[in-house]
Structure 1
Amino acid sequence: MPDPLPRLETRCLIRPADLPPSRDDFEVVGTFNPAAVQLDDGSVVMLVRVAERPTETRDGFVASPRYNDLGEIEIDWIDADLVTTNDPRMAIFKDTGFKRLTFINHLRVVRFASDGVTITKVGPIVDYRADHATFGLEDPRITRIGSVYAVTAVGASHHGVCTVLLTTTDFTHFDDLGIIFCRENKDVVLFPEKIDGHYVAIHRPTGKFEVTQPEMWLAYSPDLHFWGDHQPLWGSGDGAASVGGSSGSWDDGRIGGGVPPIRTERGWLKIYHASCKPGPGEPIGVYAAGALLLDLDCPTRVLAASPDAFMRPEEDFEKIGFVKAVVFPTGYAMQGDDIQLYYGAADTNVGVVRYRLADLLDSLVPVGTPA
């Protein structure tokens, strides 16, 4: 299905071959889901999730790398008869259902010129060592709040997945504020300014006790450390019910905050990702992107929403990869009247797509109004 919103330009910015692994006996299998922020001089800084795995293979075994207590990578070799590997991202134990990743993650700094697409420097790996991130850091987001850049990222370990917060002023030195949303919570994005005296986050709690479709929630904090006043914001299928669209068919699998909220004259533009339920034999469904418009003073109030996904996998590099058919927007930069969205493609590549901001805003339908 083609995009309902016309793309002005699409590029594959970074592929696995473009970034070196952290060690010689590993290979990069994914460079994707990048956090991105535009600096005052117009240049763009990106934190790219890099997934790598050992090049060594052993018959009858599955490799699962992890960081040990010293921050060094160790490889556990799991008996292949004990696990299923239908999902290439993980080995799932047959007896317990517990999962181990088949790769390990780190974040790497990449800098771009003011056009947002020309790489000027590939920087260092973000050094992060913690018991709640023994499989590395994943899926970062960057929000500028005053003079500080706040980075949320997912820590993955045998404890599950949680969200940690880092702050930086130069993307060279990072301060660790620790876990801000514990397991199982991810896809956390921060608003770029306080609302009614509080920091505000959109997060995505999940759990095994499922009584509803996946949802995004809001939370508030006085200091970025402690979060409360949790309340649901938007869930899978809400678009179909509220704006007369077909949201239930494209977002009934997963949903989560994608790009940090963008202040516009009409309200907070919130671009999010979602996936449909997988078909028979498929590990996950197709990932696409939608958008919301939230009230500037009361972000719990949804003013308008996409009647359907405005961005779907179209290009080969979005359809073919480590996980097929994924567009996963995670950052943005402005180029005049256009918005450049940075996204993970097929859990393999970094892409950028450009839209007219006005077209995107105009495509949203007031909540409660038939499309």
Structure 2
Amino acid sequence: MNPYEFRFEKLPNPVLSPSDGGFDSKNVYNPAVVKRRGKTVMLYRAEAKEEEITGRIGLALSEDGIRFIKHPEPVMEPEYGWESLGVEDPRIVRIGKTYYMTYTGYDGRTARLCIATSKNLLNWRKHGVVFEEFPFLKNGKPNWTKSGAILPEKMKSGPFGGHYIMYFGDSNIWLAYSRDLLHWEYEKEPVLRPRGHLAEPGPAPILTEEGILLIHSEAFYEDGKLVYYTHAALFGREDPRKLIWRTEEPILRPTFDWERYGWVDNVVFAEAMVEHGGRYYLYYGGADRHVGLAVGTIKLGSSQKSSNV
């Protein structure tokens, strides 16, 4: 029995696309989205035409969560050696008065999970690479940690009581824990293994009565092509390492031309979800070129096919 029913409808057109020129003239995708002072704030990965930089972070504002106005300049750019080619794929939570951004720092060889903080979403202080060493190999390379999704409240009990937790990685998904959101330790065994090519965490997890709900991406080879889908998994409320359930059928799949053809074909890649007007707005990258939006509900109880492994 599936504890949740996901009913999302994708808007037929992107809500954000590349500009004619400038730092986001080639691709805009894989955004973080938060609410601030009644507005929807999107921070998105941006790439420019005829450049090697694989990511800067741009900002856009919206009154309704659908129509966005871009800030003219990036709010984060590569600075350090570990991110020399790109700052990519932000995910953001607000805890207290501080925004915590996890993002990918890419040096042309390794994709590392990094953290930055801000009070206003415009000015960011970088705190560096989260795990200097990580032994699991990805593409034959160590220290590939890439992405992380933080639960924006402390665990109250269980083995991680008094700690924040984060799901991270982009091959398997691992669990990390921290008391201050800046210094993290990780569990050595993955908590979610891919059923296909890879699995990667999406928006911030949600603590529910049934457990911790994590929306994530999974990629599968189909007819020789890699296809990205959006899925969900439920972990233990007391023990966030314990996988209780995961979807078999995807929440989102590539269907529109702008999701099927782009910089990387056949991709819907969800990284942000906010509540708006009683519904969930799930933002995602489409074919690594545009930002899409799916609007819907998550309700208890369903006959949707699911897996208990």
After TM superposition, give the deviation of residue 287 of structure 1 in Å. 0.5
**2:183 counterpart SS class:** coil
Alignment match, 1:52: 48
- Are 2:78 and 1:118 aligned? no
In the aligned structure 2, how far is the partner of 1:319 from the partner of 1:185? Answer: 27
Deviations 1:154-207 (A, max 9, x none): 1111452111100111012111111103431112111101111112111116xx
Change in Cα spacing, 1:319 to 1:181, as seen in structure 2 (3 Å) is same
Q: Which amino acid aligns with 2:256?
A: E
Q: How does 1:292-303 map to 2 (within 5 A)?
A: 292-303=233-244
- Are 2:286 and 1:345 aligned? yes
Could you tell me whether the CA contact under 8 Å between 1:337 and 1:357 is conserved in 2? no
Q: Which amino acid aligns with 2:193?
A: G
After TM superposition, give the deviation of residue 7 of structure 1 in Å. 3.3
- Aligned positions, number: 287
Alignment match, 1:15: 17
- Are 2:19 and 1:104 aligned? no
Among 94, 97, 104, the residue aligned to 1:147: 97
In the aligned structure 2, how far is the partner of 1:319 from the partner of 1:336? Answer: 30
After TM superposition, give the deviation of residue 364 of structure 1 in Å. 7.3
Could you tell me whether the CA contact under 8 Å between 1:259 and 1:272 is conserved in 2? yes
Could you tell me whether the CA contact under 8 Å between 2:232 and 2:247 is conserved in 1? yes
After TM superposition, give the deviation of residue 337 of structure 1 in Å. 3.5
**1:318 counterpart SS class:** helix
Q: Output the TM-score relative to the length of structure 2.
A: 0.84
In the aligned structure 1, how far is the partner of 2:278 from the partner of 2:301? Answer: 11
In the aligned structure 1, how far is the partner of 2:289 from the partner of 2:300? Answer: 28
Among 124, 128, 131, the residue aligned to 1:181: 131
**1:350 counterpart SS class:** strand
Give aligned-pair identity as a percent.
27
Q: How does 1:157-172 map to 2 (within 5 A)?
A: 157-172=107-122
Give 1 or 2: higher helix fraction.
1
**2:19 counterpart SS class:** helix
In the aligned structure 1, how far is the partner of 2:72 from the partner of 2:304? Answer: 37
Among 229, 234, 241, the residue aligned to 2:192: 234
Change in Cα spacing, 1:271 to 1:35, as seen in structure 2 (3 Å) is same
Alignment match, 1:192: 152
In the aligned structure 2, how far is the partner of 1:137 from the partner of 1:322? Answer: 17
After TM superposition, give the deviation of residue 278 of structure 1 in Å. 5.9
In the aligned structure 2, how far is the partner of 1:150 from the partner of 1:362? Answer: 37
Q: Which has the higher contact order (CA 8 A, sep 6+)?
A: 2
Q: 5+ unaligned residues in a row in structure 2: which ranges?
A: 133-142, 156-160
In the aligned structure 2, how far is the partner of 1:235 from the partner of 1:355? Answer: 27
Alignment match, 2:28: 31
Alignment match, 1:221: 178
Q: Which amino acid aligns with 2:41?
A: V
In the aligned structure 2, how far is the partner of 1:107 from the partner of 1:228? Answer: 27
- Are 2:44 and 1:43 aligned? no
Which segments of structure 1 move beyond 3 Å, counting only runs of 4 or more?
A: 4-9, 359-366
In the aligned structure 2, how far is the partner of 1:303 from the partner of 1:336? Answer: 30
Could you tell me whether the CA contact under 8 Å between 1:333 and 1:341 is conserved in 2? yes
Q: How does 1:350-361 map to 2 (within 5 A)?
A: 350-358=291-299
After TM superposition, give the deviation of residue 228 of structure 1 in Å. 1.7
Alignment match, 1:204: 169
Could you tell me whether the CA contact under 8 Å between 1:5 and 1:360 is conserved in 2? no
- Are 2:216 and 1:275 aligned? no
**1:286 counterpart SS class:** strand
In the aligned structure 2, how far is the partner of 1:259 from the partner of 1:51? Answer: 22
**1:104 counterpart SS class:** coil
Q: Output the TM-score relative to the length of structure 1.
A: 0.71
Which of structures 1 and 2 has the bigger CA Rg? 1
In the aligned structure 2, how far is the partner of 1:363 from the partner of 1:168? Answer: 40
Q: 5+ unaligned residues in a row in structure 1: which ranges?
A: 55-63, 66-102, 206-213, 238-251
